[in-house]
Structure 1
Amino acid sequence: MALSSERIEEVVAIASRGFAAGQPVKAVVQAVKEASPGLTVTGTFASIMAEDPYREEARFDLFLVDGSGHCWTITEKPESATGVVIAEHDEE
């Protein structure tokens, strides 16, 4: 399943609203899952991600993942993406 730019924008919008409202990453991930049936979504903290994000936002980074193989891999290619990781920025 490729991720369209429209779907990526929807994910970013939902996540941005959730973080702006003070929701924890778990709640943000749940909101994205509910709005995007069939999309694999997980959350974590940005500090544990070693790769560069696909997109950086004010309160989180968005990573695209390719789950077509045995293990997930981070990808920069929306056409290869099967899911997303929402990585909340650590409090400074």
Structure 2
Amino acid sequence: MALSPDRIDAILTLADARFAAGDRLDEVVKALRAANPDLKTVTGTQAAVMAEDPFREAARFDLHLVDGNNHCWLITDRPDAATGIVIAERDDES
């Protein structure tokens, strides 16, 4: 499954709006899962634990793309290989 630039933008817009509305990370992830049921992986974490550079950055979070086509999933910078996303929330001090 490929994630088009428009779909990535839509994911960013939805996550950004939910964070701006005061939603917690788990609520943002739940909304993203509901809006993107075909993605294999939609999860959240704190940005401090992510070793990879984000695919895109927003005001409160980083977006990482996940390639889950093999046994283990890995972070990718290739939208054409992405099967999911990680929303990595940055703390207020970032």
- Under TM normalisation by the shorter chain, which class is it? over 0.9
Aligned to 1:62: 63
Secondary structure of the structure 2 residue equivalent to 1:61: strand
Residue 8 (1) aligns with residue 11 (2) = no
Aligned to 1:89: 90
Task: Give the whole-Å Cα distance in 2 for the aligned partners of 1:23 and 1:79.
Answer: 30
Aligned to 1:29: 29
Structure 2: tracts of 5 or more residues without a match: none
Percent identity for Structure 1 against Structure 2 = 59
Kindly state the Cα deviation for residue 91 of structure 1 after the two structures are TM-superposed: 2.5
Q: CA RMSD in A?
A: 0.8
Task: Give the whole-Å Cα distance in 2 for the aligned partners of 1:50 and 1:90.
Answer: 16
1:64 is aligned with what amino acid? L
Kindly state the Cα deviation for residue 70 of structure 1 after the two structures are TM-superposed: 1.1
Structure 1: tracts of 5 or more residues without a match: none
Task: Give the whole-Å Cα distance in 2 for the aligned partners of 1:51 and 1:34.
Answer: 26
Residue deviations 1:7-57 (CA, integer Å, cap 9, x gap): 111110110001101111100001111111211210011000000000011
Aligned length, in residue pairs:
92
